[in-house]
Amino acid sequence: MKVIETSIPDVLIIEPKVFGDERGFFLESFQAERYRTIGIDLPFVQDNHSRSRRGVLRGLHFQCKRPQGKLVSVTRGAVYDVVVDINPESPSCGKFVGVELSDQNHWQLWVPPGYAHGFCVISDTADFLYKCTDFYSPEDEGAILWNDTTLRIPWPIENPCLSMKDLSNPTFLEVLGSRE
């Protein structure tokens, strides 16, 4: 596998080796020893799978007291995936990484614990997989407004389909103020 560093330390793009021919392809989506060598050595305790249609935007979400690390990938379709550093003590606080994940590039994105995460679907549909390092806890969830003017994330859609909850998320500065 190939590891691509991003502008935020610890946020990694992982390009697995894909073996393909006229029959299809094979790839190893996770192997503990190999991932440990690149610094991903937390235990995964929960796997999630979502399917969304074009224009759906999920996020930007995070867990407050029990942050989840996430190894994410797309098995059908394509998404624009975003990770935001929300640690007020980090030199990259307020910076984000945006990358296209698809069933064509087979990339994975490592979202370390304590970062906000979201994605929008840019294909007709997308199946999105998450390997998580802690259990989801609804009462522990935090979120940031998708179109926050401080972050200025260049989402590839103008009018996304959002959940009622994501329509009223606080701004980045409001979240940052509550974390200091």
d(CA 140, CA 163): 18
- The residues that are catalytic are 61, 130
Query: How far from 165 is each of 18, 45, 143, 161, CA to CA, in Å?
Result: 38, 26, 9, 12
Query: How far from 171 is each of 33, 69, 79, 101, 147, CA to CA, in Å?
Result: 39, 22, 23, 26, 9
Query: How far from 36 is each of 10, 33, 145, CA to CA, in Å?
Result: 13, 5, 33
d(CA 155, CA 134): 28
